[in-house]
Structure 1
């Protein structure tokens, strides 16, 4: 018998599904042509009952901004595998946070943030200062990302019940 300190899958699923499902806009950075990461994240988030708008790979910044304005997601998830997340993520987040219509949308980035291997963590604080709500390194697994989404669900569900809005 295998034991774990993690919540059983059935219980975890109940926790996720008991809260408001989120509308999540999923994208990559403009130079990243990888798709397997996007497919995995889409399937994971849909498994937990979220509505996922997957823009795919190599998405120009302007298209991401336009889709955010059109779809008004609860969360934007930027996934990158090519190691340019630090450079292009900074450019993207500055564009989003400079747009008064979009600046309050939570946005996270994860994956291979840079090409410095174990030294990639040096980029995390700058990405956070630039406006990302969270940065997830590819070496950290998916648990912290799942915790972030659960926390966001709780916050949004609480605010909706109290009559508040995100914006």
Structure 2
């Protein structure tokens, strides 16, 4: 049985979403864009900002109990921080039901199916590489939303 503070919360509307950059990524515009997109879709967003240490991302997810974690990278090195981050998230029982996606420019050589597959095998629920369809991300988020 789960402790009271971690009991499943009833859902009847928008998703709670945490948006974050990776420790090595100082870009902000992508995080603001994703926040505004998600808010326009009717979801509640906590934007942690750029250059967020891994431990802070994990603890923020434990604190805010989001339905979805969105990790965004623009610097082309996102895949370096992505693996250890999802490993830390998946090691926490409190976050077992939380979905996590990553997107943006994750490598310097452009989109890479092999890298995307590795990130999914590592624990991400979906990968949205640079140049991908924004509608695919919106559709993914929409498929998660609970309707009353």
Q: TM-score, normalised by structure 2?
A: 0.88
The structure whose RCO (Cα within 8 Å, separation 6+) is larger is 2
Aligned residue number for residue 62 of structure 2: 69
Aligned residue number for residue 135 of structure 2: 143
Shift of 1:20: 1.6
Gaps in structure 2 of 5+ consecutive residues: 1-11
Does 2:88 match 1:95?
yes
> Counterparts of 1:132 and 1:117 in 2: how far apart (Å)?
19
Shift of 1:115: 1.1
Are the equivalent residues in 1 in contact too, given 2:110–2:130 (CA < 8 A)?
no
Q: How many residues end up aligned between the 2 structures?
A: 137
Match of 1:121 among 101, 105, 113: 113
Aligned residue number for residue 75 of structure 2: 82
- The structure carrying a bigger helix percent of its residues is 1
Shift of 1:105: 0.6
Gaps in structure 1 of 5+ consecutive residues: 1-18, 162-167
Q: Secondary structure at the residue paired with 2:72? A: strand
Q: TM-score, normalised by structure 1?
A: 0.78
Aligned residue number for residue 6 of structure 2: none
Does 2:68 match 1:108?
no
Name which one, 1 or 2, has greater alpha-carbon Rg.
1
